[in-house]
Chain A
Amino acid sequence: AQSVSQHNHHVILSEAASLELGCNYSYGGTVNLFWYVQYPGQHLQLLLKYFSGDPLVKGIKGFEAEFIKSKFSFNLRKPSVQWSDTAEYFCAVNPPRGSSNTGKLIFGQGTTLQVKP
């Protein structure tokens, strides 16, 4: 089945460490890609999104993600994490036009990031 995979389920880092969270999808064709974050007790918020153009996307709070079409990946990165980045991170994909899931957001299972002060 076509899907979105986040390989890291739980990541623990110390402050100032670098972060990379993996996201892979299995849809061919043109996709739209998103990273959402859910801080403890808060709602899902958009971190960044890719629709077209420069495959390196800058988001809020120093996050960035790189779309690599050949690898079907959209990994999230941050050079130096802070304690306040502790949250759950979700990758999501809008499958291409013509697929059975066109127009929907298909989510990965999420990655819990814990940053130790």
Chain B
Amino acid sequence: ETGVTQTPRHLVMGMTNKKSLKCEQHLGHNAMYWYKQSAKKPLELMFVYNFKEQTENNSVPSRFSPECPNSSHLFLHLHTLQPEDSALYLCASSQASGGGADTQYFGPGTRLTVL
């Protein structure tokens, strides 16, 4: 399954580092999403982009900064993270968002560890 790819797959960073997560979708979709998956908790929606415009910020701390240069690419820029930010970060895409009936397709995730 190569519809949605994410790099890197694993990332270890210190609290003072700056790093970026990358997501690319090859499905011709117009909506892209960032989710956080922590152990024993439901997936948490972080950001939604629809036609390159951010349409949702789910009260995410400013140390997470998304960027969507085009409909195929989505970045999550990370700086001064905390250990509790360690989690699996999932990217997803769908035809569009807001209509409610679009299936989301997920990438493999980036396993982030903050030391």
Please determine whether B105 and A32 come into contact, CB atoms closer than 8 angstroms: no
**Could you count the A-B residue pairs with CB atoms below 8 Å apart for me: how many are there?**
52
Please determine whether A109 and B42 come into contact, CB atoms closer than 8 angstroms: yes
Known: A4-B42, A109-B40. A43 touches B99 (CB 8 A): no
Number of interface residues of B (CB under 8 A): 23
Please determine whether B45 and A105 come into contact, CB atoms closer than 8 angstroms: yes
Rounded to whole angstroms, the CA-CA distance of A49 and B4 in the bound complex is 20
Which residues of the partner chain B approach A73 to less than 8 Å between Cβ atoms?
Answer: none
Minimal beta-carbon separation of B88 from chain A (angstroms):
10
- Partner of B109 from the list A43, A92, A110 (CB cut-off 8 Å) is A43
Rounded to whole angstroms, the CA-CA distance of A110 and B88 in the bound complex is 14
Most chain A CB inside 10 Å of its own CB: which residue of B42, B98, B108:
B42
Minimal beta-carbon separation of A113 from chain B (angstroms):
16
